[in-house]
C-alpha cells in the first residue's frame, strides 16, 4: 500500500497534470508553494497574496480549458488577463452557478484586501484564506472535470 505524499500540493498537482492537463501548472503550483513557505516563515500578507495568485492561475487555466472545450477557441486576452472577467466567463459558460460566483467573488475580495481583521490573529487569517483559495481552486477544477466528456 502506497502512502500519499505529505505535501499539500499533491491533490492540486494531480488535478493539474494528470486529470485535467491544464495550461501552465508550474506557475500556479509555484504560487501555492510560495504561499506555504511564506506561511511557515510568518510572512502572512505574502502567504495571502500568493494564495490569491494561485487561485487566479487556477481560474484562468480552467476558463481557458472550458473555452477550448466548448468553442474550440482560446479565451480572448481581454478576458484571460483580468481576474474579474475570468470569473464572469466561468459563470456565463455555465461552469459556475450564480451563487457560486458570488461566493468566489467574496473570497477573492478577502484575498485581495491586505491587513488583518481586528478580531483575528494574522496567522489564523492567513491560514483560513489560504485554505479558502485551495478549496475554491479545487472546486473549480473538479467542476471542469465533471463537465468534460
What is the total residue count of the chain? 149
* Model confidence pLDDT, tens digit, residues 119-139: 778 888 899 999 999 899 989
- In which residue are the cell numbers 483559495 written? 133
* Model confidence pLDDT, tens digit, residues 11-21: 666 666 666 77
Nearest CA to 126 out of 56, 51, 32 is that of: 51
Task: Tell me the pTM.
Answer: 0.86
DSSP for 20-65 reads S--S-HHHHHHHHHHHHHHHHTT-HHHHHHHHHHHHHHHHHHHHHH
User: What per-residue confidence (pLDDT) applies to 100?
Assistant: 94
User: What per-residue confidence (pLDDT) applies to 1?
Assistant: 47
pLDDT at 4 over 50: no
* Model confidence pLDDT, tens digit, residues 28-79: 889 989 999 999 999 999 999 999 999 999 999 999 999 998 999 999 999 9
Amino acid at each position: 500500500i502506497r502512502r500519499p505524499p505529505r505535501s499539500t500540493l499533491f491533490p492540486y498537482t494531480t488535478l493539474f497534470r494528470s486529470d485535467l492537463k491544464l495550461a501552465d501548472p508550474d506557475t500556479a503550483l509555484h504560487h501555492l508553494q510560495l504561499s506555504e513557505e511564506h506561511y511557515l516563515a510568518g510572512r502572512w500578507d505574502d502567504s495571502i497574496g500568493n494564495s490569491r495568485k494561485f487561485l487566479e492561475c487556477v481560474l484562468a487555466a480552467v476558463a481557458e480549458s472550458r473555452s477550448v472545450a466548448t468553442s474550440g477557441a482560446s479565451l480572448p486576452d481581454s478576458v484571460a488577463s483580468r481576474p474579474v472577467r475570468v470569473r464572469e466567463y466561468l459563470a456565463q459558460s455555465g461552469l459556475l452557478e450564480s451563487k457560486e460566483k458570488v461566493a468566489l467573488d467574496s473570497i477573492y475580495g478577502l484575498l485581495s484586501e491586505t491587513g488583518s481583521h481586528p478580531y483575528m490573529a494574522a496567522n489564523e487569517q492567513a491560514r483560513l484564506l489560504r485554505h479558502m483559495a485551495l478549496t475554491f481552486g479545487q472546486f473549480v477544477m473538479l467542476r471542469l472535470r465533471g463537465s468534460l466528456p
